[in-house]
A and B are shown apart, each in its own frame.
Chain A
């Protein structure tokens, strides 16, 4: 039976160590010759062979494309839990190129000599089954889990789970006895047919046993790939199976594929010439013959995901209909990497499908596919979205994180093209060597896309304005899939909307920003006693407003602890001169008793570094934003009351003003140009936070969309004043009449009352805890470091 697996061709190389690099060279040749897979046998008892895992790791480091597998791994000699992590590690390092073929052990005398407890054949199958459970348990678990498995031969007694490999590592099993074939049918992802021509004759019988076991276990036999090692010799005339001219090889291998269902043929040889001839003369002809045969027979070609993957699929998503170009990088709930893509920085999610896209054409494909599915759609760049949700429950995410290129278009005008999946820390690091920077926000992990279409209230803001003020052009994919370029002269209405409400009109696939010349900057982290909170806020606000534009300061006040309130300020002075920096900071330092201080001169890239690692957000963030011109006594008192109440675990004030206010309110969809401050409060309970916050709204002239999760309709008018909103609706009506882009603040295209279409605030049950890298950023930094005068 032909299971319809796409045909893969591999090599099976002897890992001899007398010329240590010889197998490495053949492995690299295998890659150069376009083989799909390179494999090595594993006999840890054999002193003439390399340790297979060491060799596989080495080869993985020296190749870029080819997949790697032991053939097969001696499991009794390798503790399975450690092996699982080793495999996951190699899979992560090699970007998903590991296939794990396992064996139950064979040369028991030699293994016993190495100290391995001797098992009967039957016991060894049981032990292998347990080992597979251990490995899959580790891969599927997370760091918080305490895995337990009490087997006869292998145990887990509270081990943590993880890491998830880069892809679902297939577990292939070698063996031919009935008991092993049953194990393969019940649980394996592949069968490595025992070596030798005789075994190939047993293929059909083995397949029958495996398929029967698979069916009995509720599986589709096509979940199991069949892998056969073959060897032969090229000769001018026929002289036995796979001994003869290339055409004969094709004729003899073809039935193994289309009759016996072998999906992977692995050529066992250490002769470079044989590798070359097979690649040049057999492989293309064999592939063509297989295609022709399958086409005639009407065989469906493709891989059937394992039952473990299929049972976790969500309703409403047509998984089989995922466009071919997007399938490889797509992630669904049963995939190994799903835990690393499901959630955002501040929000837990359970999407049904994550489409990782690489260019504008894929964005259009993904969008068209997503529009056909009756499920929510989210768009994600860096995954920090608060108002822009960037994840969902059961829906589709278009994940732009792989579109992360940063390139200089024109050095004279400092024009840089940046894709939305880059993070602002990456941008800062890329621009630093050029002596440039772009003000972004306060965290280097934030994606370019989300911030770049909303505003960007950053550490260089008072001197250099909002991030969107640096935008000169953008490329975006509209709701109907059209790709357009926008600038002052091209689609100017969209260009206007992109700067402040871009999330509601399309998916930006590239930004063209004009960077600023920025050298090293002074970065101060001061901690003050702000127990007299109202007084401190007012004085800090006044000091910031009075400061020259080269100073931008952000203030964070936490919940009171033991009657004391601490204020942490993070201040950037856009100067590399220590005297200037100290002079600028002095008024801030004098505001109240100073409890801690760290001042350093650093590249801007050192202020907004991009952390690594997957987001682990949980629950729904509860965040409120306000914009205001001055920290008036009335506001300061209300804010102090809010802090004292404990309703906000996070309270931040960001300085704006300066260059931000130089821009005409009608020039962009971000209209609040008179604001000197943005205030953010995050709390655990929306009801409790709103009780305090609603009373404070009288102080505000508006809000900054990116930090607002309140979905009550009136918030839309706070975000966009009437003239701006009318204009935005007009753009929306023309470019997104069906309101496809509603993952952020929802702008209904129709006139009338603004509506709240986003998930209701009532689901905000659990507090989202920000990972406050910005607060505890390490300050071990060599370079000019200035100490504050007392």
Chain B
């Protein structure tokens, strides 16, 4: 049982379908209106039915005021890291510190190669992500006067100028399931962002958390330096059930509180594109989970307390 003690975040996972961009944007605006903390979008640049995620994130940030935005998660093989770093800093500056950087090593290699990207093995892609994080953090670290050199196998910079510094410490949240990636998160990530539907059991989540914790400790970091986020799907129904997130709001709240207290998760990103569900999550479930978790932790964070996204 591990609770890392992070404040709780709730978000939406919005399908960036390009046939009706207005509806996609409206769902993000609704997410803000109903009190969610995050609006996130998947990034599959090889998918012609989706809006380009970076363009969409920029647009959404421009028409919202409070909510944070993130790719869930950025397809690194098709987005060169040095340019990505500066784009991220730009968007963070323009939005007043509302960007978080979800990152993924890539998975659909046929499609990536089809777009002109380089095919990597899973192992190579972890290495590439490792190098990319160094480049991204190096660019953001505008105060460092040293020459920025990352002489990686897959990504290189040599003497690229540093800066600009983002408006806030952008969280580097990484989508991952396998041990090598989890260890990378422990060493270098600010967050772990898996999807509940991709794991077989809660035990898998616990095992993964343990790997991250161990790697963090070995790297001299506190395990709590890594926020645990979770993409979740579910169904709001009248009748309670014994299934995870299939039931009434009270059941959702209890189950999410249990995931927080027992498995250390502190951010829940709701899939499904359903405005009614997002509304209930923002207006009913999120406050209920916060109350349950506060009670369990013996803390009381009253309403109106600002919640950072990190």
Known: A781-B276, A782-B280. A58 touches B59 (CB 8 A): yes
Report A749-790 CB contacts with B as 1/0, cut-off 8 Å: 000000000000000000000000000000011111100000
With an 8 A cutoff between CB atoms, is B179 at the interface?
A: no
Q: Which of A55, A154, A614 is B90 in contact with, Cβ under 8 Å?
A: A55
Binary flags per residue of B55-91, CB closer than 8 Å to A gives 1, else 0:
1101111110000000000000011111100110111
The answer to whether A77 touches B18, judged by C-beta atoms less than 8 angstroms apart, is no
A48-B164, A155-B116, A156-B114 in contact; A93/B23 too (CB < 8 A)? no
Q: How far is the CB of A702 from chain B (nearest CB, A)?
A: 38
Q: Identify the stretch in B154-162, B182-190, B255-263, B286-294 within 8 Å (CB) of chain A at 4 or more residues.
A: B154-162
**Cβ–Cβ contact A54 & B90, under 8 A:** yes
B62 and A58 contacting across the interface, CB-CB below 8 Å:
yes
Binary contact track A141-154/B, C-beta < 8 Å → 1, others 0? 11100110000001
Q: Are B86 and A156 in contact (CB under 8 A)?
A: no
**A57 within 8 Å of B (CB atoms):** yes
Residues of A close to B238: CB separation below 8 A: 784-785
Is there a chain B Cβ closer than 8 Å to A612's Cβ?
yes
Interface residues on A, range: 35 or more
Total interface residues on B, using CB and 8 Å? 66
8 A Cβ contacts from A107-157 to B: 110, 112-115, 134, 138, 141-143, 146-147, 154-157
- Chain A residues with CB under 8 Å of B143's CB are none
B-contacting residues, A538-597, CB 8 Å: none
Q: Which residues of B contact A58 (CB under 8 A)?
A: 58-59, 61-62, 91, 94
Cα A86 to Cα B57 in complex, Å, equals 11
CB of B34 within 8 Å of the partner chain = no
Q: Is A17 an interface residue (CB 8 A)?
A: yes
Tell me the minimal C-beta distance from A105 to chain B in angstroms. Answer: 13
Which of B18, B163, B235 has the most chain A CB within a 10 Å cutoff?
B18
**Cβ–Cβ contact A79 & B157, under 8 A:** no
A79 x B54 contact (CB < 8 A): no
A690 CB–B CB distance under 8 Å: no
> Is A50 part of the binding interface, using a Cβ–Cβ cutoff of 8 Å?
yes
A115 and B156 contact, CB distance less than 8 A: yes
**Known: A85-B48, A93-B21. Contact between A51 and B90, CB under 8 A?**
yes
Q: Is the pair B19, A57 in contact by a Cβ cutoff of 8 Å?
A: no
Chain A nearest CB, measured from B303 CB (Å) = 25
Q: For the complex, what is the distance from the CA of A79 to the CA of B90, rounded to whole Å? A: 19
Q: Which residues of B contact A77 (CB under 8 A)?
A: 80, 83
- Best-surrounded residue of A82, A143, A161 (most CB of chain B within 10 A): A82
Is B110 in contact with chain A by the CB < 8 A criterion? yes
Which residues of chain A from 44 to 65 have a CB within 8 Å of any chain B CB? Answer: 44-48, 50-51, 53-55, 57-62
Distance A208 CA – B111 CA, assembled complex (angstroms): 43
A232 touches B (CB below 8 Å): no
Decide if A81 touches B115 in the complex (CB within 8 Å).
yes
Q: Is the CB of B62 within 8 A of A158?
A: no
Is the Cβ of B82 less than 8 Å from the Cβ of A780? no
Return B128 CB to nearest CB of chain A, in Å: 12
Residues in chain B near residue A17, CB distance under 8 A: 89-90, 93, 164
- Residue of A51, A77, A613 with highest tally of chain B CB at under 10 A: A51
**Residue B45 at the A interface, CB < 8 A?**
yes
Which residues does chain B contribute within 8 Å of A85, judged by CB atoms?
45, 48, 52
Chain B residues contacting A674 (CB-CB under 8 Å) are none
For residue B169, give the distance in angstroms from its CB to the closest CB of chain A. Answer: 17
In the bound complex, do residue B272 and residue A780 qualify as a contact, i.e. CB atoms below 8 Å apart? yes
How many Å lie between the Cα of A146 and that of B161 in the bound state?
39
Interchain CB contact under 8 A, B157 and A114: yes
Provide the bound-state CA to CA distance between A784 and B235, in Å: 14
Smallest distance from the beta carbon of B172 to chain A beta carbons, Å? Answer: 18
CB distance from B218 to the nearest CB of A (A): 29
Q: How far is the CB of A139 from chain B (nearest CB, A)?
A: 10
B94 touches A612 (CB 8 A): no
Tell yes or no: A682 within 8 A of B by CB.
no
- A51 adjacent to B83 (CB under 8 Å): yes
Whether a CB of chain A sits under 8 angstroms from the CB of B310 is: no
Q: Is A665 an interface residue (CB 8 A)?
A: no
Report the Cα distance A50→B167, complex, angstroms: 13
Check if A92 sits within 8 Å of B91, measured CB to CB. Answer: no
Query: Is the CB–CB distance between A24 and B45 below 8 Å?
Result: no
Determine if B82 and A612 form an interchain contact, defined as CB atoms under 8 angstroms apart: no
- Name which residue of chain B comes closest to A55, CB basis: B90
Query: A160 near B: Cβ within 8 Å?
Result: yes
Q: Does A21 contact B (CB under 8 A)?
A: yes
B58–A79 contact, CB under 8 A? no
Closest to A61 in B: B62
The smallest beta-carbon distance between B89 and chain A, in angstroms, is 8
In the complex formed, the residue of B with least CB distance to A613 is B19
Q: With a CB–CB cut-off of 8 A, which chain A residues contact B158?
A: 112-113, 115
Closest-by-CB residue of A relative to B158 is A113
21 A–B contacts, CB within 8 A, in A order: A17-B89, A20-B93, A54-B58, A54-B90, A57-B58, A58-B59, A58-B62, A61-B60, A79-B79, A82-B45, A85-B45, A113-B158, A115-B82, A115-B160, A156-B115, A158-B114, A159-B111, A160-B48, A161-B48, A163-B18, A782-B280
